[in-house]
Amino acid sequence: MSEKYDAIIIGAGVIGACVAFELAKKGMKTLSVDKLPEAGYGSTSGSCAIIRTYYSAFETCAIAFEGWHYWKGWDDYMGVKDDHGMITYHDTGCLVIKTEHNGYLKKGMEIMEQVGCPYEQVAPQDIPNYIPHADLQTYSPARRIEDPDFGEPNGGTVPGGVFFPRGGYVNDPKLSAHNAQRAAEAHGSKFLFNRSVVKILAENGRASGVEFDDGCVVHAPVVVNVAGPHSSKINEMAGVAKNMKMSTRALRHEVAHVPAPEGFAPGYGIVYSDSDISTYIRTEGNGNLLIGSEDPECDDREWVDDPDSFDHNFTTQWKTMVMRVGQRLPKLGIPDTAKGVVALYDVSEDWMPIYDKSDLPGFYMACGTSGNQFKNAPVAGKIMAHIIEACEAGHDHDADPLQFHLENIDKTISLDFCSRNRDINMQSSFSVIG
């Protein structure tokens, strides 16, 4: 392949495709390469595709609220019709239970006021209006299924919740990446699948392209690592990992797919997060629930050294999550056969993303997305395009961190919060909540 590009993007998940889209809109000739057969085929396909505004820090909440506007107006943002169809965003809202673990959401509500995002406090007696037949006893701390006290209430009751109306879920996460691919292609981007990057090329002290597993070499002055669970391997390949304060690792995770209890959340339902039972759920229009874990300390974390080789079978994690939800929903049945998704998160040390340049000029990274950045993909694409454009024009982002204006909510954030060299953000939940 002798053709030259302005930028090569490694990874065609939803964030990688949005990076390509945003760079292409700036007039850059981009090539996106992915080792899998289609856009969004990897971790994006394993996402619950939840859109929510509540995080642990101002910057991530602001980005999420900004991102909601793009999902709400997805077709207008894409600007093209995909031959595979367009995603549907269900604007159901999100209910979060107040717990001691999340500070009874006091800080979260303060941040919502700072970013101008609406919320509604929900009294305990009103929770069944959102979650029918809910058992309002409390069960924390989370326990392993073999613990003799597993499933035993602790004597308390749920103190209430907060409903965030700006939230919901996307019906098809993989299709969202394909939509972004088509939007990028409409601006001249190219996508290459079933090809692995085996070498990051450098010349005169800066990135100069990539080499593929078939020996083909493609040159570009900009290379962007959006490789998801493979991102740490790509950073090592580029020789930049050793000088980063913030590292990333691949983490194996399971999501359960079970029938909803009869009468639970008719229609398209709701997104529900409950750290008292250490799970979150998302309803579907076909009468099912998706159940994920909020990563309580008692649960083992299975770090994966080789993202190309991990156990795709369900384990006790699946049953534990479903039974924890059964504490809140006594009518929930426990299926005999496990269904759902087993996939990998690309986890940073504080579970917040790295959107940054690197010590190798021309090499950039959007990684460490920690299972919580699907919802921020459109904004992440814009942030990366902003960083790349400024740094390639000579700006020293390390010495003078770039500012980024969130146009839909009219707020400006400093991008040092997502630096590769930041200190661990102690505001984080240190879980998929972010």
* String of DSSP letters for 48-110: --EE----SSHHHHHHHHHHHHHHHTHHHHH-S--TT----EE---EEEE--TTTGGGHHHHH
> Is residue 180 domain-shared with residue 290, that is, in the same domain?
no
Q: In this structure, what CATH number is given to the domain that contains residue 138?
A: 3.30.9.10
Look up residue 360 and give its two tokens. 């190798």
Q: Which domain holds residue 354?
A: 7-86+172-247+350-418
> Is residue 102 domain-shared with residue 153, that is, in the same domain?
yes
Tally of CB atoms within 10 A around 118:
13
Is residue 434 in some structural domain? no
Three-state secondary-structure class, residue 178? helix
Q: What is the pLDDT along the chain (434 residues), one digit of tens a residue?
A: 567 899 999 999 999 999 999 999 999 999 999 999 999 999 999 999 999 999 999 999 999 999 999 999 999 999 999 999 999 999 999 999 999 999 999 999 999 999 999 999 999 999 999 998 899 999 999 999 999 999 999 999 999 999 999 999 999 999 999 999 999 999 999 999 999 999 999 999 999 999 999 999 999 999 999 999 999 999 999 999 999 999 999 999 999 999 998 877 555 588 999 999 999 999 887 789 999 999 999 999 999 999 999 999 999 999 999 999 999 999 999 999 999 999 999 999 999 999 999 999 999 999 999 999 999 999 999 999 999 999 999 999 999 999 999 999 999 999 999 999 999 999 899 899 98
User: Which residue is listed with tokens 């980063």?
Assistant: 244
Is residue 43 in some structural domain? yes
> Is residue 326 domain-shared with residue 179, that is, in the same domain?
no
Report yes or no: 321 and 293 within 8 Å, Cβ to Cβ: yes
> Is residue 197 domain-shared with residue 51, that is, in the same domain?
yes
The last residue of a domain, from among 314, 343, 372:
343
Is residue 427 in some structural domain? no
pTM: 0.97
> Is residue 337 domain-shared with residue 393, that is, in the same domain?
no
> Is residue 178 domain-shared with residue 324, that is, in the same domain?
no
> Is residue 280 domain-shared with residue 396, that is, in the same domain?
no
Report yes or no: 242 and 360 within 8 Å, Cβ to Cβ: no
Is residue 426 in some structural domain? no
Is residue 431 in some structural domain? no
> Is residue 285 domain-shared with residue 359, that is, in the same domain?
no
Is residue 409 in some structural domain? yes
> Is residue 186 domain-shared with residue 335, that is, in the same domain?
no
DSSP alpha helix (H) spans, 275-422 = 316-328, 377-392
| H-run or E-run covering 7 | strand 7-10
The angle that helices 377-392 and 58-72 make with each other, rounded to 10 degrees, is: 110
Taking the alpha carbons at both ends of the chain, their separation in whole angstroms is: 40
Q: In this structure, what CATH number is given to the domain that contains residue 184?
A: 3.50.50.60
Report how far residue 93's alpha carbon sits from residue 136's, in angstroms, rounded to the nearest whole number.
20
Is residue 366 in some structural domain? yes
> Is residue 139 domain-shared with residue 261, that is, in the same domain?
yes
Residue 99: per-residue pLDDT: 97
Is residue 272 in some structural domain? yes
The last residue of a domain, from among 343, 370, 392:
343
Report yes or no: 224 and 367 within 8 Å, Cβ to Cβ: no
> Is residue 152 domain-shared with residue 261, that is, in the same domain?
yes
The last residue of a domain, from among 343, 363, 381:
343
Domain count, the chain: 2
> Is residue 302 domain-shared with residue 287, that is, in the same domain?
yes
Residue 412 has phi, psi (to 5 degrees) of -120, 135
